[in-house]
Amino acid sequence: MTATYAFHSLDVFTETRFGGNPLAVVLAADGLNTRQMQTIAREFNLSETVFVLPVTQPKADFKVRIFTPEVEMPFAGHPTVGTACLLAELGLAPQGDDVRFVLEENVGLVPVRVRRDAGRAPFGELTTAVLPERGPAPPSKAVLAAMLGLDAADIGDAAFVSCGYPYLLLPLRAPELLAGIALDLPTWREHLAQAWAHHLYVYAQGYEGEIRARMFAPGSGVFEDPATGSAAVALAGRLALDSAIADGLISAVIHQGLEMGRPSVLHIEADRVAGAVTAVRVGGHAVRVLTGTLHV
């Protein structure tokens, strides 16, 4: 017997359709099992697909499960931001110009906020369920340079960091170097595939105060991602952990996806109080592209 499910697709971290990072969201998905969800995510073949479910924790408003084409994710940024914007736009979440609610994810409870200004796509923001955590020592600069097809002199100090999902964060000397990356999969498999984090987030300081970034995740079936909120909060966490500010706000704007022809803009923030990181956030706009019916 065939069951039907409503779904929507959005472009996240953009206000322009066909930019940003595409996302599929399947509503009222409690009739689907894990195997079916993974199969549907593979069918959509986007970097992530979200399934909205009844909550299992009393403080949550919605439960979501997030899948890449290959694996289920405990947490991911653009699915969280995009789903929050969609639920608000459809009238399923609390209504208003500035609303807050909570998504239950495998990583824990993720507070979200959606702001809506007249004439603009909604702006969603998440606060991570997990504060930044440093991982072990990363591979050497020589190994990372070989992995990226760059010179060791172009590589800054890398670090493993997680705010719910771990990344290897790798700064470059100049933003122009991002376009020259040629990820070498054999080197990635040897040195990163089984490491503390196998996703690689490469970034550089731009010339107008922005950060430019690219993210590679071959281990999750996504060779390159045009906008990665979970990597952005890991970077926000690193910036906050390394900051000399005892009390205050650390913020930045990240531009990602330019090399893929899908420009994306991510706004990151972190709070420090008495020398400790107390909150990390990422936000951006999302625009609905497609509405349909899924037959299972």
Could you say which DSSP state residue 95 is in?
Answer: P
Could you say which DSSP state residue 30 is in?
Answer: T
**Active site residue: 15, 43, 48, 269, which one?**
48
Going 288 to 94 to 54 to 162, the CA torsion angle's sign is positive
Does residue 48 carry a catalytic annotation?
yes
Beta bridge mates, 74 = none
Give me 112's structure tokens. 């979200």
Per DSSP, the three-state class of 225 is strand
Give φ, ψ of 66 to 5 degrees.
Answer: -125, 130
Contact 45, 250 (CB under 8 A): no
Cα distances (angstroms) measured from residue 220 to each of 68, 69, 165:
7, 7, 12
Q: What share of the chain is helix, strand, coil (3-state, %, to 5)?
A: 25, 40, 35
In this structure, how many other beta carbons lie within 10 angstroms of the beta carbon of residue 176?
12
Catalytic residue positions, numbered: 48
